[in-house]
Amino acid sequence: MASVRTVIGIDPGTQRVGYAIIEETNEGWRAIDSGVFQFSPRLPVAQRLAMLFEELTTLLSEYPPDCVVVEEPYVRPFGMKSALVVAQSVGVVKLAAVRAGVPVVSYPYTQAKRTLTGSGSASKTVLAAAVQQFLKLPELPPWQDAIDAMAFALCHCLLTPLSEEVQAIR
């Protein structure tokens, strides 16, 4: 009997949030769905976060995952304000996952790039090509946020072998 694991990857933000649903079997990976949730920058941040929670709750019920993977925010010395806003989005992702009873893990963007390409400083183009190759996609989604979400889901799959996670759940 083949083991199957469903992983949802999330690229957080407050105006645009990328998501990807990846299914892993002993034979490899398959993209089930991907896209972006878009929120008007004219809305207050709190309202966008509430809308994100609702979108994630729906996504988690439509595609019940074994794990949610979200980008760990990186704080640059000159970008503290934007990092704090993104961190709020990460908190909403974690809350939605925990409320759905789903484990949640996070990885820095450099870890996802290193795991998929061998270099933590790989360009977005190189990362996208790696995602396309791993998932055997005829074409990439039009949104970089969704591609990044795929990268986070794949990163987790590669760092946590299917057999280990299945045993941990049992």
Write out the residue range of the structural domain in which residue 104 sits. Answer: 4-169
- What pLDDT is stored for residue 116 in this prediction? 98
> Residues 78-134: pLDDT tens digits?
778 888 889 999 999 999 999 999 999 999 999 999 999 999 999 999 999 999 999
Q: Is the pLDDT of residue 166 over 80?
A: no
Q: Is the pLDDT of residue 147 over 50?
A: yes
Total domain count for the chain? 1
Summarize the confidence of residues 44-59 as an average pLDDT: 98
* Catalytic residue numbers, as ranges: 11, 71, 145
Which of 28-37, 66-75, 96-105, 124-133 is least confident? Answer: 66-75
- What pLDDT is stored for residue 169 in this prediction? 42
- What pLDDT is stored for residue 30 in this prediction? 97
Say which CATH number the domain at 15 has: 3.30.420.10
What is the value of pTM for the model shown? Answer: 0.93
Separation CA 78–CA 20 (nearest Å): 30
Name which of 8, 19, 79, 82 is nearest 45 in CA terms.
Answer: 82
What is the DSSP track for 46-66? HHHHHHHHHHHHHHHHHS--S
Summarize the confidence of residues 20-48 as an average pLDDT: 97
- What pLDDT is stored for residue 132 in this prediction? 98
Q: Is the pLDDT of residue 1 over 50?
A: no
Q: Is the pLDDT of residue 48 over 90?
A: yes
Q: What percent of the chain has pLDDT over 90?
A: 82
Which of 50-54, 70-74, 103-107, 162-166 is least confident? Answer: 162-166
The answer to whether the beta carbons of residues 83 and 109 sit under 8 Å apart is: no
